[in-house]
A and B are shown apart, each in its own frame.
Chain A
Amino acid sequence: MGTYVSTTERETKEMLEVIGQKTVDGLFCHIPEEVKTKGDLNLPKGISELEVRKKMENLAAKNIMFSSIFRGAGAYNHYIPSIVKNVAAKEEFVTAYTPYQAEISQGILQSIFEYQTMICQLTGMDSSNASVYDGATAAAEAIAMCKERKREKAYISATAHPDVIATVKTYCFGNGIELILVPEKDGVTDEAFLNANLYKAAACLYIQQPNYYGIIENAALIGEAIHSVGGKYIIGANPISLGALKSPKEYGADIAVGEGQPLGLPLAFGGPYLGFMACVEAMTRKLPGRIVGETKDLDGKRAYVLTLQAREQHIRREKASSNICSNQALCALTAAVYMATMGSAGIYQVAIQSRSKAQYMADKLGEIGFDLVYNKEFFNEFVTTSPGSVKKALSTLESNGILGGFPLTGDKEGTILWCCTEMNSKDEIDQVIKILKEV
C-alpha cells in the first residue's frame, strides 16, 4: 500500500506514552461502538505509485483525443502558452491555502489583485472579485446580487448557454427569485417579447454575448430596455471576444460575468474552469466571494489583503451575500498569466483569428450544402443545417480524428453548432470540407 504517513512504530509508542494512551484505537474509545465500522472498508488494497500510474494511464487511454476540434458550446480549445502551464504548476501557488495570513501570502494576494485589474480591463467594469466556480454559477450569483425588496423577477435570454440557464434555474429554486425566460427569435433574444413583458418589478436581465449560437446580440438596445424599468443589466461574455468586441460596460451592463476557461485553461472534461465576475462601482459591496484590496503595512509598504469581508459568510453567516469561500484561485492565476502573456495585442489576435477562421469555415461549409441557419453577424461559432444525416457527418469526421460541431437538439434538431479558434488551421478546415463533401 502507498502511504504519506512517516511516523514509525517506535514513534507511535512514544507519542502514545505522552498522550497517556496504550493504543491508537484507544483514541477512538469515546465513539459509540454501535456506529463504529466493523472490519475493513470495501476498498481495493492500496497500490504503489507505479501501479497507480499504469491504472490511471489505462483509464486516460480509454478516452479519445481528437487531433482537431471544431466544437465549442461553452468550452473552447485555445492555445495554452508553455509559460502559463509552467507558472500555474509552481508548488507554492498550488499548495497554498486561501491567503488569510496576508504577511506570508503577498504573492497569492498580489496575483489576485492583478487578476482583478485585468478582468476590469477586459470587461470595462470598476470592481472584480477573485473568481467563482464557473460561468454558469457566476451568472446565478450575479442574478442573486440584483434581488431587492419588490424586485424579485429575473429575466434570462433563451439564447444563453443551456447549462447557464439550467444552473440559474436551480439557484432560483433555492433563493426564490422568479425566473422569466425571454424567448429566442431568429437566433437572438426576442426584443419585442422583452419590451412587451418587462415588469416594473424586474430585478435584472441576463444575456450572453456572443450568444450560445455564436451570434452578436443587439446588446446596447437590450440594455436600454431593462434599464428603462430600473432593472440591472448582466452580460455573460466570452473573455476572448472582449479583445475585439465591445466590453459589457460599453454595452451598458451593470455586471459582467463569464466562463474564464478560454483564458489558458485546458478543456479537461469540463473543469476546473473559472467564473469571472465584475461590476460597476455602486454594486461593489454586493459582489460575492473573495476580493483583494490594496493597503499598507506598519512601515507604510504597499501590500494586499482580503477585504470587504463584512459581505462574507464567516462574518455574516445567514445574512451573507453568498455562501462561497473556496473559489477557483489557481484558475484565476492561470487566467492572469495567460492575459499577461498574450497582452492586449495577443488577445486581439486570438479573437480576430477565431472570428476569421469561423467565417472562412462557414463560407466553405455553405458551398457544400451546410447553410448558415441565421443570417446574422457571429463571432467564432455559427449554426448550419446539414444536407444529410447530422450523425453520419459527425461520425465520419470523428473516424478521421476530427471532433466536428455540436449537434443541437430540441427545436434545433438537425442543425450543427460549429466553432473555430486560432488552433484550427486553414488546412484543417479544408480537410473537414473535403471529408464532408464525400459523406
Chain B
Amino acid sequence: MELIFDKSCEGRGCSILPECDVPIVLPSDKDKRAKKLNLPELSENDLSRHYTELIKRTYGINDGFYPLGSCTMKYNPKINEDMANLPGFTKIHPLQPEYSVQGCLEVLQLAKGYLCEITGMDDMTFQPAAGAHGEFTGLLLIKAYHANRGDVKRTNIIIPDSAHGTNPASAAIAGFTVVSIPSRTDGCVDLEKLKEAVGEDTAGLMLTNPNTVGLFDKSIVEITKIVHESGGLTYYDGANLNAVMGIVRPGDMGFDVIHINLHKTFSTPHGGGGPGSGPVGCKKLLAEFLPAPTIKGTKVLSFEFNSKSIGRVKSFYGNFLVVVRALVYVLTLGKEGIPEASKNAVLNANYMMARLSDLYDMAYNETCMHEFVMSLEGLKKETGVCAMDIAKGLLDNGIHPPTMYFPMIVHEALMIEPTETESKETIDKAVEVFRALHTMAKENAEALLRAPISTPVRRLDEVGAARYPKLKYEYT
C-alpha cells in the first residue's frame, strides 16, 4: 500500500486551530528554521482511511489466538482502557501541587500494596517504563546496596545461559561483568556450576522462575541460599509471573528484588511495542535505594526524596496510565481471581502440550507451567521444514505464531503460551491447525516452505533490509 507521504497533496490539511488572538511574534532570524519542514498534508477523511488501511494489515489480540511464548498475550479488558481515559487522570499535570493529585498518588499507593502482596515484596517503584528498564533499575539497587556497604569488589552478575537477552544486556549497562553459567539439560540451574561461580566478586544472580523453558526450578530455595551465603543478592525477572500468582511468591523463594511486566501479567495492552510498565519491587534492605521520588503517607500522600536513592530512571513517575490499567485489573480479579488466572494459564498450557505431544517433540516431557517449548529439530531433519516454516504456516491459518528460536538452549524452538483468557475451543482449533501443519510438513513440505500466501505481504528479504538500510521515506 502507499505511504502516507505518497498520499500527501500540498495545500490540503485538517482544520484544527483558531486564529492567533495576540500579536504574532516570530523567532529571530538567527534561530529561524531554514530548511522546509515536510510533513504530510492530507484531509481528515484521507488521514482516517490511511490508518484504517494500516489497521487491516495489523494483527492484535482482538484478531485471534496469540500464543507468543514469554510475552503473555492475554486479553486486554476494555474497562482498563476506559478508566485510563478518565479526564481526572489524563488531564493532570505531573507538576501540580501534591494536594491536587491525591487521586493519582492513591492509585500508585494502592497498586504498590497489591503488587507487593502478590510478589512478596516490601516496597516498589513505578518509574521503570518496561521490563528491561526495570531490570536496569533493580540491578542499580543491588549496585547501590554493595556500594553503600563499601563492598566494592562485587562486580559480577551471574546469569544462566537460558536467560532472556535483556538480562545480560541490562547487567552490562548497569556496569556489571556478566558471568554466564550453563543450564542443565532441563533448563534449570546447575547447582554445582552456581557454587563454582559465586564468590566475593558476586554482586547478584538474575533468574526467571518458572524459567525460560516453562519449568519451575525446584531447587529455588537452595539457589537463592547459595547466592546469599556468598554475599550476593538475588534478582527475579518477573517475565513469567503469570504462572505463579497466588501459588508461590518470588519474595518467599528468596528473591531480594524483582520487576513485573504490567503489560504481560497484569493485562495492560502491548501497543505494538509499548508503552509497558516495569515496576520494581524489593525487600526492606533495598528500599532506601529506590528511585526518587517515592510516595509516603497514609491519609494525605506526598512525595519523598531519599538521600540514598539511586536517583531517577525516568522523568516524573513512570507510565502512570499503564499503572491505572493494572490496578483496575487487580481490583476486578481480587484475591480469588488472581490465583484463578495463574491456575488456568497453567491448565491451558498443559492441555495444549498434552494434545500435541504425540506428534511434536517436546523439549521437556514433564508438567509445564504457563508455557511449553517444542523442538522441531527432528522434523527439520526428516522433512526440511523448520520452526520458522511452521510459524509461517500458522499465519495462513489466522494464528499468531509462538515465539521462535528462543530459548537458545533448545534447537528449532517454538515456545507456546496460550494464557488463561483463551477458551478450550480456541485451543482445540489451534491444536488442529498445528497437527495439520505437521502432516503437511511430511506430505507437502514444499507448500509450507512457501507460506504464508494469504497475508498482505509474503516472506521478506530481511538480509537486504539490514545490508542496505532504508529507514525513511526519501522526498523527491
Contact = CB atoms under 8 A, between A and B. Distances in A.
A and B: interacting chains: yes
Nearest to B344: A5
Contact of B40 (A1, A170, A299, A340): A340
Nearest to A307: B465
B88 A57 contact: yes
Contact of B86 (A60, A105, A111, A259): A60
Given A30-B216, A65-B92, A106-B57, A1 B337 contact: yes
A142 interface: no
A201 to B, nearest CB: 19
A161 B314 CA distance: 12
A27 B346 contact: yes
Given A46-B334, A337-B51, A91 B60 contact: yes
Contacts of B312: 136, 163, 166-167, 169-170
Contact of A4 (B25, B129, B420): B420
Contacts of B3: 110, 113-114
Interface string A23-63: 01101111110111100111111110100110111011111
A182 interface: no
Given A96-B272, A110-B3, A121 B39 contact: yes
B318 A128 contact: no
A92 B62 CA distance: 7
B335 A103 contact: no
Nearest to B427: A15
B359 interface: no
A329 B271 contact: yes
Contact of B44 (A27, A55, A83, A103): A83
B103 A63 contact: yes
B4 interface: yes
Interface stretch (B66-74, B226-234, B279-287): B66-74
Contacts of A314: 164-166, 406
B36 interface: yes
B21 to A, nearest CB: 4
Given A49-B332, A344-B37, A114 B5 contact: yes
Interface in A210-254: 216, 219, 242-247, 249-250
B56 A117 contact: no
A2 B333 contact: yes
A193 interface: no
Given A301-B457, A346-B17, A31 B31 contact: no
A328 B44 CA distance: 25
Given A96-B59, A355-B27, A377-B28, A331 B88 contact: no
B32 interface: yes
* Tier of interface size on chain A: 35 or more
A110 B54 contact: yes
Interface in A141-187: 144, 161, 163-164, 166-167, 169-171, 173-176
A247 B27 CA distance: 13
A266 B90 contact: yes
B307 interface: no
The residue among B175, B395, B472 with the most chain A CB atoms within 10 A of its own CB is B472
A52 B331 contact: yes
B466 A1 contact: no
B28 to A, nearest CB: 6
A356 B24 contact: yes
B270 interface: yes
Interface in B234-274: 244-249, 252-253, 263, 267, 269-274
Contacts of A60: 86-89, 103
Given A95-B76, A176-B175, A295 B221 contact: no
A388 interface: no
Given A121-B37, A135-B315, A173 B143 contact: yes
B354 A103 contact: no
Contact of B318 (A65, A270, A333): A270
Contact of B100 (A4, A6, A63, A120): A63
A120 B27 CA distance: 22
Contacts of A422: 17, 20
Contacts of B328: 52, 56
A293 B466 contact: yes
A63 to B, nearest CB: 4
B314 A136 contact: yes
A368 interface: no
A300 B36 CA distance: 33
Contact of B464 (A40, A77, A296): A296
A317 B459 CA distance: 26
Contacts of A169: 311-312
Contacts of A77: 93
B104 interface: yes
A66 B157 CA distance: 48
B438 interface: no
Interface stretch (B133-141, B195-203, B373-381, B440-448): B133-141
Given A37-B249, A66-B93, A269-B317, A97 B57 contact: no
A118 interface: yes
A323 B401 contact: no
B120 to A, nearest CB: 8
A7 B51 contact: no
B425 to A, nearest CB: 9
Nearest to A5: B344
B140 A174 contact: yes
A323 B173 contact: yes
A19 interface: yes
B227 to A, nearest CB: 16
A99 B272 contact: yes
Contact of B129 (A16, A56, A272, A337): A272
Interface string B25-69: 111100111111111111010011011011111111111001010
A3 B249 CA distance: 21
A268 interface: yes
A313 to B, nearest CB: 4
B400 A101 contact: yes
Given A35-B252, A95-B61, A246-B32, A46 B331 contact: yes
Given A94-B269, A305-B462, A62 B102 contact: yes
A303 interface: yes
Contacts of B178: 317-318
21 contacts: A12-B347, A30-B216, A44-B331, A49-B332, A74-B315, A93-B55, A117-B5, A118-B40, A120-B472, A122-B39, A169-B312, A174-B140, A175-B175, A247-B35, A270-B316, A308-B466, A314-B164, A323-B135, A323-B136, A326-B274, A355-B27
Given A83-B44, A326-B273, A353-B20, 15 more contacts: A27-B343, A31-B247, A32-B220, A35-B221, A74-B95, A96-B270, A101-B400, A121-B39, A122-B39, A164-B315, A167-B312, A171-B313, A310-B466, A323-B173, A342-B39
Q: Which 10 A-B pairs have the closest CB atoms?
A: A60-B88, A270-B316, A46-B334, A330-B271, A329-B273, A107-B58, A270-B94, A62-B103, A95-B60, A272-B275
